[in-house]
Amino acid sequence: MRGTLTQFGWKTSLQVILSVILARLRLRSRYKGWLLLGLIIPIVMSAIIIFLGRALGGPRAAENFFLNTGTSNYVAYIILGSNVFMIVSRALWDFGFWLRREQETGTLESLYLAPTSMMLILTGVAIYNALHSIVNFFITFALGCFLFRVNPLQGNIPIALLFLSLGLVPLYGVSLLYGAMVFKLKEAHALIRMAQWVASFLMGICYPISVFPPFLRAVALLFPPTWMSNGVRASLLGVGFFFGTWYRDLAVLSAFCVIMPLVGYSVFLATERRIKRNEGVGMF
């Protein structure tokens, strides 16, 4: 199908997605300090926990950690946790804050007036986020391992990469749900802060979710990033998969890949429709 002014073919759709990615990349590249901060935060976060652990456990820190988690390599465990957390956090920021910024700068209505689907624009935002997150993940993981003198090349790296890349899909479903919430409640900063803390708590940056009481553990298991985080750690550090083997855990994550984007997008559409009928999308 060829694209016209009102009807988009696959080529023009791809162009829309590419334009959104480029626009986001350009905007991000204007704030180099923020790029640097994105690399530093997971390392600082890991350092706080590592120093705390060393102070608590002393020379037996690794042994104690092994008894509780199944690996004595607590440094890699924590660096991985912080990095996966940053991926989650960045996805929420990039969706929630992007929507809010567009509202505040008065450009959201213009985007809705453009002869394209919102789905394509959101896909562009998601791809930009995935690129940014994955590049940052590798740099900070390598940097963290270098600073704390840990070998980054251990365990089953291809399986870890599989968990990491597949885990991004349901994450964007969650982000869409979250975007709908920002749309409705407006207070993006507060909601993002809340979501960051809840996410870091549920997915266990520095502890396995087995420490939770049963109800909380069930809630954590319904949160897709928990599977991503555990999958990456289990593949690299051998801490054990939730269902014993990697392919079973990966099957659960794949199910999330189907369910979460569908749920997220339908909730987003419903919220968007309601807002269009009432106060309008640009109102903040």
Residues found near other proteins in the complex (CB under 8 A): 31, 33-34, 37, 40-41, 44, 47-49, 51-57, 61, 64-65, 67-69, 74, 185, 187, 189-191, 193-194, 197-198, 200-201, 204-207, 211
For 225, the token pair is 């990033």
Residue 73 parent element (H or E): none
Q: How far is CA 229 from the centre of its chain?
A: 10
Phi-psi region of 186 (alpha: psi -120 to 50; beta: other; left: phi over 0): left
* Minimum CB distance to other proteins, residue 257 (Å): 28
Alpha carbons within 13 angstroms on the beta-carbon side of residue 190 total: 4
C-beta of 248 vs 279, nearer to other proteins: 279
Residue 264 parent element (H or E): helix 246-277
Residues in CB range of 78: below 8 A, 6 or more apart:
46, 49, 50, 53, 205, 206
* Minimum CB distance to other proteins, residue 177 (Å): 16
C-beta of 122 vs 199, nearer to other proteins: 199
* Minimum CB distance to other proteins, residue 167 (Å): 21
Q: Say what angle helices 188-203 and 157-185 make with each other, to 10 degrees.
A: 150
C-beta of 4 vs 68, nearer to other proteins: 68
For 197, the token pair is 């803390």
* Minimum CB distance to other proteins, residue 122 (Å): 24
* Minimum CB distance to other proteins, residue 9 (Å): 40
C-beta of 201 vs 246, nearer to other proteins: 201
* Minimum CB distance to other proteins, residue 34 (Å): 6
| Residue type at position 174 | V
Q: How many CB atoms lie within 10 A of CB 64?
A: 15
C-beta of 66 vs 242, nearer to other proteins: 66
Distance, in Å, from the CA atom of 19 to the CA atom of 79, rounded to the nearest integer, reads 34
C-beta of 174 vs 188, nearer to other proteins: 188
- Angle at 197 (CA atoms; ends 155, 170), nearest 5 degrees: 55
Q: How far is CA 177 from the centre of its chain?
A: 13
C-beta of 120 vs 145, nearer to other proteins: 145
* Minimum CB distance to other proteins, residue 143 (Å): 15
Is the distance from CB of 78 to CB of 205 less than 8 angstroms?
yes
